[in-house]
Amino acid sequence: MWTGGCLCGAIRYEVRGDPIYIGHCHCSRCRKSSGAAFLTAALFPKDSIEWTTQVPKLYPSSAGVDRGFCPNCGSSLTFQSPGRLLLLIGSLDRPENVDMSDPRRFEANHVFFSEKLPWIHLEDDLPRFDRFAT
């Protein structure tokens, strides 16, 4: 089981199961909302996430997409669309334990690579998509 939450602890969650997809998104919206150079999000099996405190506040950032955050400390927590919720991987308590070494464990890629900051240099061999993964 995975656990995680926001910086202040007002929002906490538990997740059963392992990620089925991990995406590194380099789009400008993810950059703005996270304040980071790019955003890494993990999709877990549907309904495997349980909020053990309050649920994140949602901001509708584009059509059909909500971004969840803690209204107290502002931590970015989720990227959601109907029927699909990705946890931002930095909100996990132990993101270092996600095993990225075996590409057969789950799908992983870079999306909106065309918007990647020019001074970010990546050495992984994950698939890179200009916009959405195909």
Binding site for Zn ion (CB under 5 A): 6, 8, 10, 25, 27, 30, 70, 72-73
Beta bridge partners of 87: 42, 78
DSSP 91: G
Contact, 41 vs 26, CB < 8 A? no
- Which pair of tokens denotes residue 76? 């970015």
Residue 104 beta carbon to Zn ion: minimum distance, rounded to whole angstroms: 25
Structure tokens at 54: 């309050």
CB nearer Zn ion, residue 99 or residue 114: 114
- Measured from the CB atom, the residue of 17 and 62 that comes closer to Zn ion is 62
Instruction: Give the nearest distance from C-beta 73 to Zn ion in angstroms.
Output: 3
Return d(Cα 79, Cα 41) in angstroms, integer: 8
Closer Cβ to Zn ion, 7 or 20, answer by number = 7
Q: Alpha helices, DSSP H only, in the chain? A: 28-34
Q: How far is the CB of 99 from Zn ion (least distance, A)?
A: 24
On the CB side of 93, CA atoms within 13 Å amount to: 12
By beta-carbon proximity to Zn ion, the closer residue of 45 and 132 is 132
Q: How far is the CB of 108 from Zn ion (least distance, A)?
A: 15
